[in-house]
Chains A and B, each alone.
Chain A
Amino acid sequence: MSKHQYQNRKFVIAGIAIGIVLVFIIQLFSLQVATDRYKKNADSNAFLKKTIYPSRGAIYDRNGELLVFNEPSYDVAIIPREIVDLDTLDLCSTLSITKEYFDERVAKMKDRRLNPGYSVFTPQLFMTQLTVEESAVFQEKLFKFPGFYIQRRDTRKYAHNSAAHALGDIGEVSKRDIANDDYYTRGDYIGRQGVERSYEKQLRGTKGLEVLLRDAHGRIQGKYKGGELDIKAAPGKDLTLSLDIELQMFGEKLMQGKLGSIVAIEPSTGEILCLVSSPSFDPSSMVGRKRGISHRDLQRDPTKPLFNRSIMATYPPASVFKVAQGAIFLQENIVDVNTTFPCYHGFVVPGLRVGCHTHPSPVAFKGAISTSCNSYFCWGLYKMIDNRKYKSPAEALTVWKDHMVTMGFGYALGVDLPGEKRGLIPNAQFYDKIYGEGKWNGLRIIHTAIGQGEILLTPIQIANLSATIANRGHYYVPHIVKSVKNDTISQLYRTPKQTSIDPHYYDYIVEGMRGAVIGSPYGSTARRANIPGIEVCGKTGTAQNRGRDHSVFMGFAPMKNAEIAISVYVEHGGFGATSAVPIAALMIEKYLNGTIAQERDYLVDEISKTNLIPYDLKKY
């Protein structure tokens, strides 16, 4: 056996075989067990995860009238990997876009900074919000463009062109929205303003998912595991607003050509009946692809139509603030209802004079409110801040501020709309900073007494004050959503908040405010608010201003069991009685009677045609 010498070579050959199999097993391990990269790849290969968009909840007014609903529009999506032999020119002409626009959209789609979820395997949003007609043209030629898909999406449609600020709008999510909430992916819509934003979670519903199997040619082979992994889309919940759209439109009409706000609240519930901010805009202009241009134009408008004055503007409240002051003086026993103060055409102490109009003097609490006596409230504040019963003016002011806060001032009320401002109620530290610690007293801050100086309130805070008085000492946080279908509104809006003022003091205030409307021995300021058959109570204010004064009114009706509390603020409207009072009166009449009596009908026309926008803003 000469070949016996090679017998050991069988080990080499066996070794080679073992080595090969070993290398294969190691490679198998590294592919299958050591990484899940291939698994992910396989999933994006085989599964087409189709999002099922839920319909967004509709919005109704308090009487069940439909305000906002959905209209179908169509998005064009691309699965980049599936595109073959794209005839770009044909595509552009079908979609009636330019080649440049096409290139721009593709570049944006592929930019991973703008679109972190970009993948060649999954549908990428290419164009949004095609109309039914546009999409029909595209659908017809869709077979020519493999890799292109049409997705149905809803856009918002508005039944009326009013209440834009309250309703708000929706827009495509930003990068930050996506980062904040992983519910969203690029191209999704999110509420941008108004209730669309504050009730986004209720309105949007829940997206569904359909897991489809896709073969190597991109053909759908059916549902994966018979639809076991599919998630049904849950439609968004309908909202019923507390808004009365009739009243809202009426208010917007009256506020035409004026800057300012009307806020009306139902005192027994805190429901907002109307929320007018003027100037406003047509909510439909914020829908679809024209949104960008409209938004830009509105943003450039110097009258700031996008600015929701009713909750965002902070104004000096002027004389309407006197009732809050008076309530504190009564509560703190600085005055009683019969205490009188002299008024010599104003509050006069050595070195200081706050003017007042002509009326009988001296004057007691109710009369002071009816005639809006500056002197009375200056005396009141002076006596309170410099009162010996407090250790220092600072302590007195702290007590005063705490009362103010319980009335809903100084902090945002918590309205269910985005962007509410808190206004300003100064505290002791605030004056310490300005005048130095211990270097100020009641006289230094005397303008606060009549709602001037540092005091700033939002129109909704003024309306809330009115509602609190109507309720004799408590209020519900104003809110615009009355109910959510199959859901409840926040506990915040269902529990009353008590002020720190004894309820019976409010009766004096109410009587004073009633006197302002129907007249009192000391005079009255809001006679134009007197509507036969309706017991209106009110308080005017005239906020000093560079240029023409702002006109303010706050009131409620009827006197007992009030159904509406209102604040009207007209920038550059002159005396409270001039602009704000007639508007408020018409609003109250409209709401309580449903119509305006014939003899006052002329007023509606007259007021709505009055333009009070300062010339330098108008020229735009």
Chain B
Amino acid sequence: MISKSTSIWKALDWWTVLLYVLLVVCGWLSVCGASYEYGNPDFIDYSTRAGKQLLWITCSFGLAFVLLMLDDSFYRNFSYVFYIGMILLMIVTIFVAPDVKGSRSWLVFGPISLQPAEFGKFATALALARFMNSRTFSMKKLADVLILALIIILPIALIILQKETGSALVYFTFFLMLYREGMPGVVLFLAIASVLYFIVGIRFDEEYFANSTVSIGEFSVLVLSLFFTSCLAWVFRRKKSVSLFILLVSTFIIGVSYLISKYLIPFNFIYSVYLCCLIAITYLIIISIKSRKWGYSLIALFLVGSISFLYSIDYVFDNVLESHQRVRIEIVLGMDEDLSGAGYNVNQSKIAIGSGGLTGKGFLNGTQTKLKYVPEQDTDFIFCTVGEELGFVGSSLILLLYLLLILRLIVLAERQTSTFCRVYGYCVLSIFLFHLFINIGMVLGLTPVIGIPLPFLSYGGSSLWGFTILLFVFLRLDAGRAHRLHG
């Protein structure tokens, strides 16, 4: 027993532990700043939020210790048990949880409240790892893919039933892990492309080039599709000539018509972009028929799809989306400047961060956060406090800490010998990345307002413990790697 525990301390990845401790400490300081009341600088008092967070942190250190002490085979063997137990807990939660601001996701045990969804991610990650670790598993088998989808969709459905849509979105981050494990890259590419089209198309739809009727949004999306088409030809068909042909012809036609429109005769040069698209599609289909390689047709199809996607966005935006959803998107894209209305949170958050300047106002000197201008400032909008009090330098440093943590986790995941450990590792880092992306994106006004916490920084025991468990189980698995190799 002694030899085993010493070997764990030796094999443990202390770099990750260091990053974890740094982030948690930053988190506590931010909560101190965010919940600080004038004239009451007592951070240790349990009745204050800072005091409570200190208690959660102490508990999570204990939790981390316990997790490291357990045998690593324990996690593998009990994956499905965890998963099923969690699913059952979530079902129970739907029925017994009290209604908190419209969501039924909190289990209350006397003075302590828990959010099972925070632990659902951990259980799902374990179940996915266990399932994909089986010898017969293959991404190419439809049955396996369906079971994978089921494992992911089940908790999503339950969380949506708890009316916590934001937390449900986190599960889509497993696509990143699936991509690493062999999911076709096209799926990821299409997802990214459609998000880009959507944001660019809607954001600049109503803005025009100077002295012309050409919408910047429409023009940019079409040019972007042509560019992607050219890239696809290069990456998937390995044909530089096709790719270059599309790129050069388009650049020439669009460039010349833009110059003519600007300096000679103003005309709607969007037609020249249409012409380029038409040429590219025809060209790809001709090559496809000539060479009998259907890949070219698929690329042509992508271009056709992109164009139809663009023109359906407007329809979707105006006719399909509910008005409050539309409002939220408009705010994020900076289209609506109604400051006191729905954009209040994001606007106040930008004001708080922007007022921090280069070096910030100093610890506990922020005015916007102290005076409660930013809602949810110690939970979802905790990064505002960082931005205001530590400024550009401090917030960038914290972002870099996160980046280091994620890159370190990639390194750790890649050095795993078992699929179980690697898949689990990728699940963990994907979850961190997604939380980082959505949370900070929201605070900075780049992504829609979705209420999910920032790992290690946001106030709250459930989320801190959830992330601690995710991380330290992986560290335990990683530390057992050497043990397994030799034993």
- Checking B176, B353, B402, B437 against A28 with a beta-carbon cut-off of 8 angstroms, the contacting residue is B353
Is residue A37 contacting chain B, with contact meaning CB distance below 8 A? Answer: yes
User: With A13-B179, A21-B399, A45-B368 given, is the CB distance from A216 to B38 under 8 Å?
Assistant: no
Give min CB distance, A251 to chain B, whole Å: 61
Contact B181 A46 (CB under 8 A): no
Please provide the chain B residues from 384 to 417 with a CB less than 8 Å away from any CB of chain A in the complex: 387, 391-392, 395-396, 399-400, 402-403, 406-407, 410, 413-414
Please tell me if the beta carbons of A13 and B180 are within 8 angstroms of each other in the complex. Answer: yes
Q: Is B448 an interface residue (CB 8 A)?
A: no
Question: How far is B370's CA from A303's CA once the two chains are assembled, in angstroms?
Answer: 64
Give the docked Cα–Cα distance between A221 and B429 (Å).
Answer: 42
Q: B402 near A13 (CB under 8 angstroms)?
A: no
Residues of A near B356 (CB, < 8 A) are 32
Segment 310-367 of B: residues with Cβ below 8 Å from A: 340, 348, 350-358, 367
Closest chain A residue to B426, Cβ basis:
A13
Q: Which of B179, B402, B426, B445 contacts A21 (CB 8 A)?
A: B402
Majority SS of interface residues in chain A?
helix
In the complex, A150 has a CB within 8 A of chain B: no
The segment from A3-11, A368-376, A378-386, A542-550 found at the interface with B is A3-11
A27-B446, A28-B396, A38-B350 given as contacts; is B180 within 8 A of A6 (CB)?
yes
Q: How far is the CB of A9 from chain B (nearest CB, A)?
A: 5
User: A550 to B407, alpha carbons, bound, how many Å?
Assistant: 102
A33 at the A/B interface (Cβ < 8 Å)?
A: yes
Q: Which residue of the partner chain, among A20, A33, A216, contacts B357 with CB atoms under 8 Å?
A: A33
- B-contact 0/1 string along A21-32, CB 8 Å cutoff: 101110111011
Q: Does A106 contact B (CB under 8 A)?
A: no
Whole-angstrom distance from the CB of B136 to the nearest CB of chain A?
A: 13
The residue on B at minimum CB distance from A221 is B38
Instruction: Answer whether A24 and B357 are a contact pair too, CB < 8 Å, given A6-B181, A13-B410, A45-B351.
Output: no
Contacts of A222 in B (CB 8 A): 38-39
- A-chain residues with CB within 8 Å of residue B357 when the two chains form the complex: 32-33, 36, 39
Question: How far apart are the CA atoms of A33 and B393 in the complex, in Å?
Answer: 10
B444 within 8 A of A: yes
Q: In the complex, which residues 422-463 of chain B have their Cβ closer than 8 Å to any Cβ of chain A?
A: 426, 429, 433, 436-437, 440-441, 444-446
- Asked whether, in the complex, the Cβ of B354 is within 8 Å of the Cβ of A213, the reply is no
**Contacting residues of chain A (212-258) with chain B, CB-CB under 8 angstroms:** 213-217, 221-222, 224
Determine if B403 and A7 form an interchain contact, defined as CB atoms under 8 angstroms apart.
Answer: no
Chain B at the A interface: SS class: helix
Q: Are A14 and B354 in contact (CB under 8 A)?
A: no
B81 at the interface (CB under 8 A from A): no
B window 178-204: CB within 8 A of A: 179-182, 185
Q: B292 within 8 Å of A by Cβ?
A: no
B288 within 8 A of A: no
Inter-subunit contact B179/A17 (CB<8 Å)? no
Q: Return the contact of B395 from the options A28, A37, A45, A224 (Cβ within 8 A).
A: A28
Q: Does A41 contact B (CB under 8 A)?
A: yes
Contact check, B392 vs A35: say whether CB atoms are below 8 A apart: no
Q: Could you tell me the distance between the alpha carbons of A221 and B356 in the complex, rounded to whole angstroms?
A: 21
Say yes or no: A32 contacts B391, CB within 8 Å: yes
Binding site for A on B (CB under 8 A): 38-39, 176, 179-182, 185, 340, 348, 350-358, 367-368, 370-373, 387, 391-392, 395-396, 399-400, 402-403, 406-407, 410, 413-414, 419, 426, 429, 433, 436-437, 440-441, 444-446
Which residues of A are interface residues toward B (Cβ below 8 A)?
A: 3, 6-7, 9-10, 12-14, 16-18, 20-21, 23-25, 27-29, 31-33, 35-39, 41-43, 45-47, 81, 213-217, 221-222, 224
Q: A14-B410, A43-B355 are in contact. List 11 more A-B contacts (CB 8 A).
A: A13-B429, A21-B436, A28-B353, A33-B358, A36-B357, A38-B350, A39-B357, A42-B352, A42-B354, A213-B367, A215-B371
Q: Enumerate 12 A-B pairs (CB-CB under 8 Å) in ascending A order.
A: A6-B180, A9-B185, A23-B446, A27-B445, A28-B392, A31-B387, A36-B357, A42-B354, A42-B367, A45-B351, A215-B372, A221-B371
